[in-house]
Amino acid sequence: MQKVNRQKEILNERSLTNSWLARQLGVNPITVSKWCTNSSQPDVLTFLKIASLLHLDVSALYDEKVISDFCGDRKPYEL
């Protein structure tokens, strides 16, 4: 399974839990767990909410290889 997002790493770096993120978003913790293991991905609006909650640019949530593969030499759009 390809690693798409960095949510698990970012939550760990900030000493935050899947349960915390689930409560903030109003979703089941199992859903957040699936996102953190990259077995599924949140929709675009949810990615934006996560970035806002974590005070990050949305591109910081994606694995660098995914951005590189998608954007090539172009810089990803920054919010």
Evaluate whether 4 touches 38 at the Cβ level (below 8 Å): yes
At residue 36, what is the residue type? Answer: C
What are the pLDDT digits (tens) for 32-64? Answer: 999 999 899 899 899 899 999 999 988 788 766
> For residue 6, what pLDDT is reported?
86
The pTM of this model reads: 0.76
Q: Does the CA dihedral 66-27-31-18 come out positive or negative?
A: positive
Q: Mind giving me the DSSP string for 27-42?
A: S-HHHHHHHHTTSS--
At residue 39, what is the residue type? Answer: S
At residue 55, what is the residue type? Answer: H
Three-state DSSP state, 5: strand
> For residue 73, what pLDDT is reported?
61
Alpha carbon of residue 35 to chain centroid? 7
